[in-house]
Structure 1
């Protein structure tokens, strides 16, 4: 049998891809155009045929037919939040795993004073087909602006204000409860927590889930911003106010890493003197000494789902909003 890959300079056609995949041209076209409703087995067969034949989509011709830019925006928090945070690197990889094979371009944008106007303008002028919003806060007007203009948008977390929007999240409340239940199972009874920012749904829900499971409304806590530096600052404050504490739940791995640095500097052993649990199961968890016990959210899978849902909304902007919520799991390591 001859190799189906072309050896000449002649452009491979979509018909040839369909023949190699054993599907109709229409089905092959749906896969190439990123239609999310195609069966996963068929999508894989078409993608294998694309790889085998060396097919390259004619993006210019496709844009004329579809009236699309074949580009989506990924709007990340302000640039100062991105440095050293593995969460956002994983999000980008997860999104690219879906849109890369479809030939859609990814435009990275960081939130600043001009970003909101730029996003709205790019969507209105057809330079972007849709956007994924990562970690918008309670008072951000951008989600509502996009929804009211019927632009395709997917959010990375539950909106704090009720909005008819598609979003992907982990059960943050259940994750906070998992952390609390684990620390209580270790017989820790002088527990403190470093909560995430309370102007975000992730910060609120992780905190609520933890407090409800502990059932102690007077539990000492401080508010961080998911960064390592805020974990350090919060841990210093909590140790001064509660020097006898024996357990810490930090609502992100980076905050837990910062807390462990302070604990070590003040002579506390982890986990013998103070047990520590984080949230995310990012690469920061493995960089801790000892490795961090943490609540895992499947960030790469969640990001891939965001991309699939956005492509589906681009194909059908009038489809009703979809909400996908993943389940968290506890990953036990050496810190608790």
Structure 2
């Protein structure tokens, strides 16, 4: 014989309160007395009661889930350590509200169509956009659906439309470029991230803010936030400007690739060429030598992004983007 699953009536009886009081607590009502809350939580543990999400959603009109949409190829999820920090932090923050996180990849049109169908079908209370590129049609399509949506990092061209939290990419790039110049480096190059992303464009802008006319076109090479991309970009830079004595790379992962290329051609770091990254990810401490880099508070960015989304889901007002400061971290590479 199967044991009967405990119900909300069993919890109410064990706690000595009404069914309505139990229901209000389970649905997030703050106006339940402390003594009743303690009794109900004890009764739930004793009875083994598990909330029926389907039944709850009929009452609250909420699904209890949020979709994180990563607008990158699936392999980048596993290669770039920044994404794991964002995913881990967002999952923990949402779990505090008993909200589940669903991860979806939106690297091409078919992926984006799948995301739109899922959200339009009412399967999520909100959408968290990550690494959205300029010209991506997904943000505009989501605006036609009555669902809360925010972004980790600004959506290029939609900065005033899609709420977001981000690190101060431009100021971080200024910090690093000033540092390299103050170290006496005279031929400073840069490897950018994709310029259709806010990080790629803003970090290049910060580099140019400091160097002005010295930020010559031949000293600027474009990468793709991958280690292999950093290797290739560094090789192209050396072909064009073999006399460079420093390079500011738009991510730690690309900087690791740049270090590999410099080793292969016999350039000493930092003696011949100083190398600096951006992120202060786990990669920064594993390179040889360890990377001088810009620390962006990724966990705090994720916390703030999720906070914005939960606020909108709860009916709050968006008051503007959250921009968090960066920090220069000096190690042996520069």
TM-score (norm 1): 0.83
Matching of residue 225 in structure 1 with residue 210 in structure 2: no
Tell me which residue corresponds to 1:39: none
**1:68 & 1:289 partners in 2: Cα distance?**
49
Task: List per-residue Cα deviations over 1:245-289 (Å, max 9, x = no partner).
Answer: 110100000110000011111111111111111001111111111
Alpha-carbon contact 1:74-1:131 (below 8 Å) kept: yes
- Larger displacement relative to structure 2 (280-289 or 75-84): 75-84
Note the C-alpha offset of 1:26.
Answer: 6.0
Alpha-carbon contact 1:57-1:103 (below 8 Å) kept: no
Q: Which runs of 5+ in 1 are unaligned?
A: 1-8, 33-45
Tell me which residue corresponds to 2:304: 305
Task: List per-residue Cα deviations over 1:203-222 (Å, max 9, x = no partner).
Answer: 00000001111222425110
Q: Which runs of 5+ in 2 are unaligned?
A: 1-5, 31-36
> May I ask how many residue pairs the two structures share in their alignment?
309
**1:191 & 1:31 partners in 2: Cα distance?**
57
Select the residue among 170, 181, 202 that pairs with 2:167.
170
Matching of residue 71 in structure 1 with residue 65 in structure 2: yes
User: Which of the pair has the greater relative contact order for Cα pairs under 8 Å at 6+ separation?
Assistant: 1
Tell me which residue corresponds to 2:250: 251
Residues 129, 173 of structure 1: alpha-carbon distance in 2 compared, 3 angstrom cutoff:
same
**1:279 & 1:158 partners in 2: Cα distance?**
18
Residues 138, 52 of structure 1: alpha-carbon distance in 2 compared, 3 angstrom cutoff:
farther
**1:306 & 1:14 partners in 2: Cα distance?**
37
Note the C-alpha offset of 1:309.
Answer: 1.6
- SS of 1:273's partner is coil
**1:212 & 1:332 partners in 2: Cα distance?**
21
- SS of 2:109's partner is coil
Residues 1-336 of structure 1: pairs in structure 2 closer than 5 A? 29-30=27-28, 54=45, 57-76=51-70, 77-111=72-106, 112-162=108-158, 163-215=160-212, 216-218=214-216, 220-316=219-315, 319-320=317-318, 322-336=320-334
Note the C-alpha offset of 1:56.
Answer: 5.1
Residues 172, 31 of structure 1: alpha-carbon distance in 2 compared, 3 angstrom cutoff:
farther
Residues 125, 226 of structure 1: alpha-carbon distance in 2 compared, 3 angstrom cutoff:
same
TM-score (norm 2): 0.84
Task: List per-residue Cα deviations over 1:25-81 (Å, max 9, x = no partner).
Answer: 96785389xxxxxxxxxxxxx99x969975854423321211111111111122132
Alpha-carbon contact 2:154-2:162 (below 8 Å) kept: no
**2:13 & 2:321 partners in 1: Cα distance?**
36
- SS of 2:156's partner is coil
- Larger displacement relative to structure 2 (191-200 or 305-314): 305-314
Residues 10, 57 of structure 1: alpha-carbon distance in 2 compared, 3 angstrom cutoff:
closer
| Higher-Rg member (1/2) | 2
Note the C-alpha offset of 1:14.
Answer: 9.1
- SS of 1:114's partner is helix
Alpha-carbon contact 1:97-1:304 (below 8 Å) kept: no
Alpha-carbon contact 1:176-1:207 (below 8 Å) kept: yes
Residues 115, 243 of structure 1: alpha-carbon distance in 2 compared, 3 angstrom cutoff:
same
